[in-house]
Amino acid sequence: MTFKVPSVSDRLGKNQFVTDEEETHIEIDNSICTSQCPEKWCVLACPAQVYAIQPDGTTIAEAAACLECATCLQVCTPGGLKWFYPRGGFGVSFREG
């Protein structure tokens, strides 16, 4: 008997995201991000690929895709990112593990 391990994409596809349209839980200070962090560690480290660099060099975040692991907060230049868990009832609900 062969057992197929589900891919990461398949597992993440079972998560439910409830987006808070009134209040985001990720705020980027691009004045710090662009001047003090040429590496853009959040873009490189985020497992959900929440962060992207715009053509003008600024960084944006798609908070609705956030897995709430706070990896970005750990690697970010101090002051470049405000991150907190979403308000109750919002954010990610994990379906697998």
Residues 15 and 60: their CA atoms lie apart, in Å, by: 22
pLDDT in the model for residue 96? 60
Residues 11 and 14: their CA atoms lie apart, in Å, by: 6
Average pLDDT across each block of 10 residues of the chain; the chain has 97 residues. List them in order: 80 83 93 92 93 95 91 94 91 75
Residues 37 and 42: their CA atoms lie apart, in Å, by: 10
CA 40 to chain centroid, in Å, comes to 13
Domain ranges, ordered by start, for the chain? 25-78
Q: Quick check: 48 and 9 in contact, CB under 8 A?
A: no
Q: What is the CATH code for 25-78?
A: 3.30.70.20
